[in-house]
Structure 1
Amino acid sequence: MEYDKKEIARKLLDDVGGIPRVYAFKDESGKEIDIFCVDDSPIEHVSSYSTVGLSDYTLNKKIDDKSLRAEIIGSTDSRNDLFLNIISDCAFKVMDGLSPCMPGTVFLNAIDNYYLDFNMKHMLLTIPFLWELHDLEFEHEYVTWLFAVPISESEYHFFVENGYQKLEMLFEKKQIDIYDLNRSPVV
């Protein structure tokens, strides 16, 4: 099948559920990204947001001779209505070549740019674990999802000193509330 953003949105809806809304964002250079939003997913009072269209940009990696592409998804308390801006900012950094798009990528100050008083400041990309998001295989492209996890300044320093996997293990051990942008840091 040919690469199709509508197919990505359909697959996302199948995997995430809910009643979707889509918002279009444009940066100063004219690049555009759509943000898919659903409320009460994966649980009540939590909203989920995903890029649709970031996969237009190659990650310069291949799987079985197909160009690897990615979309970013994240979830937060539904009252954090600027979260879709955070996700779009992360996407624009990838689109502009300012950040890679792979597990372990940190978008510095992504949250702090919108919520100055919250404990979480940055976004860390991980393998999705909230839903069974299925990758999409097109004729020439392979599209996957990466989950954006909010992290604090001290967690970022732990990540720099100890690596992505140790931070992830610490999050699992402490059972962090990934939806809470103002949770207490684990370190």
Structure 2
Amino acid sequence: MTTLAPESKAPSPLHKAIARHALSVFGGKPLVQAYHHDEIQTLSIDLLEVDDSPDDGLVSYSTLGLFEAELRHDDGQAMQTRIELCAEMPDDLDLWGNVLATAAFTLLRGGQAAIPGSVLPGCVAEYYPDTTVPHLYLCVPYSWHGGEFPRFEQDGVLVNWLQAVPISEAELALVERQGHEALEDALLEHEPDIYDLERDSVC
């Protein structure tokens, strides 16, 4: 579980530059919130939140600070890029910041590489226990600027964003069985309402 902290720690210049980059993609008026892990007091993550982005009634989110973690593949090799997570959800889902913060904590604690097609289990269900889509699927961002979320590069640091989309148990099983391309094909075919946390599975 995560809790909302009263204020963020002082950000570094690079941290600020990444925040400005994400805001340039989202547009609008920014709010930065700090989320703390309930059990590990030294573990925290900032989230940039922008109302009415990319459309009215939606909120755009980006983690700020996940880039500081060097995530590694199964063979021990470090990812060539650092990452941040992003998402867009309706403004009435007021715990979605907690969901995304929990996803970031999962990566920070595990140190496992995250790439398009990765799944972070249980992040949605932790805050929305009645959901039919308890997991987060990570994909190339598609919700902003016609499907473009430019990478950030400064001082030798390369950062790319992954968009977090809620998926069902059956959809997770499809990824594990046939690969993430099969899930993306099914999502494109059925066009589910990804904002509905009680939607039917596409498979």
* Fold shared, TM-score > 0.5 on shorter chain: yes
> Pick from 12, 22, 31: which aligns with 2:32?
22
CA distance in 1 between partners of 2:79 and 2:120 (Å):
20
C-alpha contact 1:108 1:123 (8 A) present in aligned 2: yes
C-alpha contact 1:99 1:105 (8 A) present in aligned 2: no
> Pick from 182, 186, 192: which aligns with 1:170?
186
- The equivalent of 1:65 in structure 2 is none
Q: Does 1:43 align with 2:55?
A: yes
C-alpha contact 2:88 2:143 (8 A) present in aligned 1: no
CA distance in 1 between partners of 2:130 and 2:111 (Å):
26
1:156 Cα shift?
1.1
Q: Does 1:56 align with 2:68?
A: yes
Q: Secondary structure at the match of 1:128?
A: coil
C-alpha contact 1:76 1:181 (8 A) present in aligned 2: no
C-alpha contact 2:69 2:111 (8 A) present in aligned 1: no
Q: Secondary structure at the match of 2:200?
A: coil
1:139 Cα shift?
2.1
Q: Secondary structure at the match of 1:146?
A: strand
1:117 Cα shift?
1.2
C-alpha contact 1:77 1:180 (8 A) present in aligned 2: no
> Pick from 86, 90, 95: which aligns with 2:103?
90
Q: Percent identity?
A: 36
Deviations 1:64-108 (A, max 9, x none): xxxx10000011121111110010011011111254321121111
1:178 Cα shift?
2.1
Q: Which runs of 5+ in 1 are unaligned?
A: 63-67
**Structure 2 letter corresponding to 1:113:** E
CA distance in 2 between partners of 1:92 and 1:126 (Å):
18
C-alpha contact 1:3 1:141 (8 A) present in aligned 2: no
1:3 Cα shift?
7.0
**Structure 2 letter corresponding to 1:4:** L
CA distance in 2 between partners of 1:121 and 1:99 (Å):
20
**Structure 2 letter corresponding to 1:16:** F
1:177 Cα shift?
2.0
CA RMSD of aligned residues (A): 1.6
CA distance in 2 between partners of 1:123 and 1:92 (Å):
13
Deviations 1:40-80 (A, max 9, x none): 11112111211011001123122xxxxx1000001112111
> Pick from 122, 135, 149: which aligns with 1:109?
122
- The equivalent of 2:8 in structure 1 is none
TM-score (norm 2): 0.84
Q: Which runs of 5+ in 2 are unaligned?
A: 1-11, 72-77
C-alpha contact 1:46 1:179 (8 A) present in aligned 2: no
- The equivalent of 1:159 in structure 2 is 175
